[in-house]
Structure 1
Amino acid sequence: MDSSLSRRTAVTAVAATAAVLPFATGLSAARAEDAGPAFLHGVASGDPLSDGVLLWTRVTPEPGAVPGSGRGPEVAVEWEVAEDESFGTVVAKGTVRTSAATDHTVKADVRGLRPATPYFFRFSAGGAQSPTGRTLTAPAGHQTPGSVRFGVVSCSNWEAGHFAPYRHLAARRDLDAVLHLGDYIYEYATGTYPEEEYVVRQHSPAHEITTLADYRARHGQYKTDADLQALHRAHPVIAIWDDHEFANDAWSGGAENHTAGAEGDWAARVAAAKQAYFEWMPVRPSTAGTTYRRLRFGSLADLHLLDLRSFRSQQAAVGSGAVDDPDRTLTGRAQLDWLKSGLAASDAAWKLVGTSVMISPVAFGSLPAHLLEPIAELLGLPKGGLAVNTDQWDGYTDDRRELLAHLTDRSITNTVFLTGDIHMAWANDVPVKAATYPLSRSAATEFVVTSVTSDNLDDLLHVEPGTLSVVAATAIKAANRHVKWVDMDHHGYGVLDVTADHAQMDYFTVSDRTDPQASSAWARSYRTRSGTQRVERVDRPVR
């Protein structure tokens, strides 16, 4: 969810033309002269289980068969999994046939592996061999590992910068998986967000994506990024979607960034976006083709992953009483019941909830007048002033009330919400009644990671970090005492360390999103100790 952008132009009818251009998706001139198969979009693994993992790649069978083109023959792709990088001990192998019907993407859901074990994998076709990837299975359900550690990222806008946070996470060898909390791609036309003069590298296709060919081509472009490929080679990725995998501020019946007359039927656009997503991402589709699902990491942590776009009611107008309407929903009834039952039944020490939008209540009315407009723009809200962000759980208070009451009534402890979307880093208690916090109890805690590249406050205002944001952050914390920290300026990633004693988020920032060689530095750490439902600052990262 980003700035509430005006519709500049109607989508043109030349979408497929740009999508089939080889150079728009990273096909080199040398490659274009070679008619054999090639693996140009890397390899990936995801959704690790104690006995298996999902493997992914995309084969280009001939130069013209670029993402979204609908061209190219059927291809047989072999895959193999080994205990060693030299593939001296192959433990599983198979063949998958792929064609233009699935955009020549390949998935192999491998089972029969050992728990908590690293493996290496690769693909081959027609004499061509893919890069080698490394993955890791989850601990067995009855095992209690000493720790589980996740990289945590969100909001990676190609046009806004380079994906250096992915490179720094790829370099770590202490992660069990990387959790991507949404906005893995962006749907905008080039020069829309950010504005043209601030574009670091251009989107392809250049127009806003609306069709299956468009979404396939955009996914294909993102998968040519070297840092993104490195991340997927190094770690299994666990992903959920947010709005930009479809369109800005998406809800079940439309989106802010969708004009039915010019861009067709919303349901058809969503179906195209979902098809491309499941083709191009190492994700297992769950109930009704959504991304809500549950993964287990021994008896230490259950990870509940949410889909907060497919079932939600339309966002309420800012300042309206509709935010409290019990007939409006963020999760949908079935998903909320699924989450509640899963939390109640979990015997894991920690209940982690991957949510694409922030659950902690935040009132923005105390902000100085000169910061209301840019903050509203950052949150995608009307610029005349704001009280709450109605795209978050604040816009659907009945769902939040029911969920938090469930946690307190059932005495469910150690629930930690992991959140992206807002392009800022936060560490929050999640109060049952924000107005009386800290006298009223905290039902859970929340760690929000900033964006990989997408605009935050200093980017929107074009000022140095740590200037105007200090005023805004101070005002937000004063009006929202459960907010322990907020950083509105930096880009980066988080590393979540979970042990029997604590869940700790280490926040890392990168030096410059426009620099492909940007360095990384530790910024802050917060943890919640077992049984407390409160966050506290820590003076050093776990590693």
Structure 2
Amino acid sequence: MPPADRRRSQSQHSPSRPDLELRAAARHFGRRRFLSLTAAAAALAFTTNLPAPGAASARELDAARITDNPFTLGVASGDPLPTSVLLWTRIAPAPFEPDGGLAQQLVAVQWEVASDDKFSLVVRSGVATAFPEYHHTVHVDVDGLEPDRVYYYRFKTGTWISETGRTRTAPATTAAVAALRFAAVSCQAYHDGFFTAHRHLAKDDVDVVFHLGDYLYEYAVNSAGGARNYTDRKLPDLFNRETMTLEDYRLRYALYKSDPDLRAVHAAHPFVVTWDDHETENNYAGAVDEKGDPAEQFLVRRAAAYRAYWENQPLRSAQLPSGPDAQLYRRLQWGTLAQFDVLDTRQYRSDQAYGDVQHVPGPESDDPARTITGAAQEKWLIDGWRASAALWNVMPQQVCFSQRKLDLNAAAKVSMDAWDGYRASRDRVLAGAKSAAVGNLMVLTGDVHVGYAFDIKDVFDDPASKTLGTEIVATSIASGKDGAEKPGNWDTYTKANPHLKFYNGRRGYVRVELGRQSARADFKTVSAVTTADAPITTAASFVTEAGNPGLKPA
């Protein structure tokens, strides 16, 4: 949550030489041109010396000379399409060193996709290059696969073979699929506890996992791992600082991906990822950071964060950033059963109103010119709904979409960081859903470190108004530490928001099964994350019927 002095304090970090040069240039050319200048400078900083197609940018390492396991950060897959899936790994025999132990050398990496986990029937294979410019990460877009099939994959380099990953393709876009099982997760602060929920999810029978943001946190992690309180190991001091540079972000991904539970869940299921704020910086909005630093300075940091995010996620080249810009919003289909419109509510949003403190809605927050998605993404979303032939239209995104009053006053305060702080933007999206005749709208949300189940109302202040869809909010994996089944504001929130059907403050994930007649959401929670190995239980289950939106206990 935002500090009280948001955008009022000055950064304690000394500006780097590129920052000083950008500031000087901004003063020289004037404020009208500084944003375009900054974007160009950041793009130059993070696209210079990238490998050209077919070109060798560095000397190739003889992989036989790699004496330590290079697959320390596991494998992953993502964004399944009917005939392709994206495979990921990173070659890093020394993951906590800035260069991963490989310096500026190319590494040839073999990959295989098979129809069985013994690899007796390999259906696709090839060789990819791990470039130092991409921090020796590998992204392989495997095509020519069969729709709606489970596959197994692995990587090889030298004498080393990675662990085996399990993935799958989506059904053909015209297939009348009967069911889809997916999970929604969010907010995994390493320093707040163990990723136990991921270990349980790795064993769950789901087709795909949606990660809704805050994959990592920019905050310092001390040698004991924060709340993990390691006694048998000590983390390097290089993690005990806030992430600011490309090297900082890359190293923080190495820390997170070294977690065995996160590795297990990535190996078990394909992921569809989108970011929220902490992958860059808490509660940033577009080119505006939390501390009120000059935009030209923050955009350089944002470029570093976006670059490291793409490098470390199973994302296609279409999501590769150009400087501080990246198109992360995208659309996936699961036959005629479901369309997924994955949003980015950080990169294009207007700055939060009223200093980003809890506030009663007013002229500043309700200005119709304000947006949480940006105009282009908003149009893309609504146009996609109009063209959709899917039974369920699911919108994975970051922050609370439904109205969430925070007190019992007649004029209640709401969060300025959520869609409540951008009500005109929400109204336009809901008007678009109605004009597109979206009958089964489901919004997936993260961010708030609790589990919620909302009915999305036509008029939120009128409980009798039409229900337009449902919102399923996934609690955190670890952020917020252990939490509580009933947080201290449970009575207030449930009384102030009659469309709120469920509220639980434990850690975990949501498992959703979509069918032709209904959808079921199971809220899975663990009792603790500050100690390892907690069991998982189902805190509550809800059903919403196709053609009859509204959540009912299962």
TM-score range relative to shorter protein: 0.7 to 0.9
Q: Tell me the equivalent position of 1:260.
A: 293
Seen in structure 2, the aligned counterparts of structure 1 residues 126 and 13 have a Cα distance that, compared at 3 Å, is: farther
Q: Tell me the equivalent position of 1:211.
A: 245
3-state SS of 1:323 partner: coil
2:497 aligned residue (480, 490, 501): 480
1:414 aligns with 2:440: yes
1:50 aligns with 2:114: no
Q: Distance in 1 between matches of 2:100 and 2:11?
A: 23
Seen in structure 2, the aligned counterparts of structure 1 residues 211 and 323 have a Cα distance that, compared at 3 Å, is: same
Q: Tell me the equivalent position of 1:17.
A: none
Contact 1:292/1:306, CA 8 A, preserved across alignment: yes
Q: Distance in 1 between matches of 2:69 and 2:228?
A: 33
Aligned counterparts, 1:86-485, within 5 A: 86-172=118-204, 174-190=205-221, 198=227, 200=229, 205-256=239-290, 258=291, 260=293, 265-284=297-316, 286=318, 289-317=326-354, 318-319=359-360, 320-366=362-408, 387-438=413-464, 440-455=465-480, 459=483, 465-466=484-485, 469=488, 472-485=489-502
CA distances 1:313-334 after superposition (whole Å, capped 9, x unpaired): 1000134421110111100000
Contact 1:42/1:58, CA 8 A, preserved across alignment: yes
Contact 2:193/2:529, CA 8 A, preserved across alignment: yes
2:509 aligned residue (493, 501, 504): 493
RMSD: 2.8
CA distances 1:384-423 after superposition (whole Å, capped 9, x unpaired): x970001010010111001111222332210100110011
What is the identity, as a one-letter code, of the residue corresponding to 2:138? Answer: V
CA distances 1:492-524 after superposition (whole Å, capped 9, x unpaired): 111010001112110011121112211111110
Q: Distance in 2 between matches of 1:80 and 1:107?
A: 13
Contact 1:123/1:129, CA 8 A, preserved across alignment: yes
CA distances 1:413-455 after superposition (whole Å, capped 9, x unpaired): 10100110011111111112111222x1122210101111111
Q: Distance in 2 between matches of 1:444 and 1:285?
A: 33
Q: Distance in 2 between matches of 1:185 and 1:38?
A: 22
CA distances 1:353-404 after superposition (whole Å, capped 9, x unpaired): 0010111011112189xxxxxxxxxxxxxxxx97000101001011100111
> How many pairs align?
489
Q: Distance in 2 between matches of 1:34 and 1:507?
A: 44
Seen in structure 2, the aligned counterparts of structure 1 residues 60 and 68 have a Cα distance that, compared at 3 Å, is: closer
Q: Distance in 1 between matches of 2:376 and 2:470?
A: 24
Seen in structure 2, the aligned counterparts of structure 1 residues 120 and 477 have a Cα distance that, compared at 3 Å, is: same
- The offset of 1:290, in angstroms, is 2.3
Q: Tell me the equivalent position of 1:510.
A: 526
Contact 1:187/1:208, CA 8 A, preserved across alignment: yes
Unaligned residue ranges in structure 1 (runs of 5+): 15-32, 369-384, 460-464, 539-543
What is the identity, as a one-letter code, of the residue corresponding to 1:295? Answer: L
Contact 2:329/2:343, CA 8 A, preserved across alignment: yes
What is the identity, as a one-letter code, of the residue corresponding to 2:341? Answer: H
Aligned counterparts, 1:19-98, within 5 A: 35=67, 38-60=70-92, 66=98, 71-98=103-130
- The offset of 1:35, in angstroms, is 4.0
Q: Distance in 1 between matches of 2:518 and 2:238?
A: 43
Seen in structure 2, the aligned counterparts of structure 1 residues 188 and 68 have a Cα distance that, compared at 3 Å, is: farther
What is the identity, as a one-letter code, of the residue corresponding to 1:210? Answer: M
Q: Distance in 1 between matches of 2:74 and 2:255?
A: 12
Contact 1:80/1:90, CA 8 A, preserved across alignment: yes
- The offset of 1:490, in angstroms, is 0.5
3-state SS of 1:253 partner: coil
Q: Distance in 2 between matches of 1:253 and 1:267?
A: 6
What is the identity, as a one-letter code, of the residue corresponding to 1:357? Answer: V
Seen in structure 2, the aligned counterparts of structure 1 residues 204 and 132 have a Cα distance that, compared at 3 Å, is: farther
Q: Tell me the equivalent position of 1:23.
A: none
Q: Distance in 2 between matches of 1:124 and 1:286?
A: 26
Seen in structure 2, the aligned counterparts of structure 1 residues 61 and 164 have a Cα distance that, compared at 3 Å, is: closer
3-state SS of 1:309 partner: coil
- The offset of 1:254, in angstroms, is 1.8
3-state SS of 1:260 partner: coil
CA distances 1:58-94 after superposition (whole Å, capped 9, x unpaired): 0126788645788241111111101111111111111
What is the identity, as a one-letter code, of the residue corresponding to 2:456? Answer: V
Seen in structure 2, the aligned counterparts of structure 1 residues 197 and 125 have a Cα distance that, compared at 3 Å, is: closer
Of the structure 1 ranges 154-163 and 56-65, higher mean CA displacement relative to structure 2 is found in 56-65
Contact 1:182/1:241, CA 8 A, preserved across alignment: yes
Q: Distance in 2 between matches of 1:199 and 1:254?
A: 32
Q: Distance in 1 between matches of 2:187 and 2:264?
A: 18
- The offset of 1:150, in angstroms, is 0.5
Contact 2:183/2:512, CA 8 A, preserved across alignment: yes
Unaligned residue ranges in structure 2 (runs of 5+): 17-64, 320-324
3-state SS of 1:534 partner: strand
Contact 1:61/1:75, CA 8 A, preserved across alignment: no
What is the identity, as a one-letter code, of the residue corresponding to 1:324? Answer: D
CA distances 1:286-313 after superposition (whole Å, capped 9, x unpaired): 4762210011111100111000000001
Contact 2:94/2:101, CA 8 A, preserved across alignment: no
Q: Distance in 1 between matches of 2:409 and 2:109?
A: 56
Contact 1:442/1:534, CA 8 A, preserved across alignment: yes
Contact 2:218/2:280, CA 8 A, preserved across alignment: yes
- The offset of 1:204, in angstroms, is 5.2
Seen in structure 2, the aligned counterparts of structure 1 residues 99 and 410 have a Cα distance that, compared at 3 Å, is: closer
TM-score scaled by structure 2? Answer: 0.83
Contact 1:67/1:220, CA 8 A, preserved across alignment: no
TM-score scaled by structure 1? Answer: 0.84
Contact 1:357/1:420, CA 8 A, preserved across alignment: yes
Contact 1:51/1:111, CA 8 A, preserved across alignment: yes
1:521 aligns with 2:537: yes
Q: Distance in 2 between matches of 1:454 and 1:141?
A: 36
What is the identity, as a one-letter code, of the residue corresponding to 1:54? Answer: L
What is the identity, as a one-letter code, of the residue corresponding to 2:253? Answer: H
- The offset of 1:190, in angstroms, is 3.1
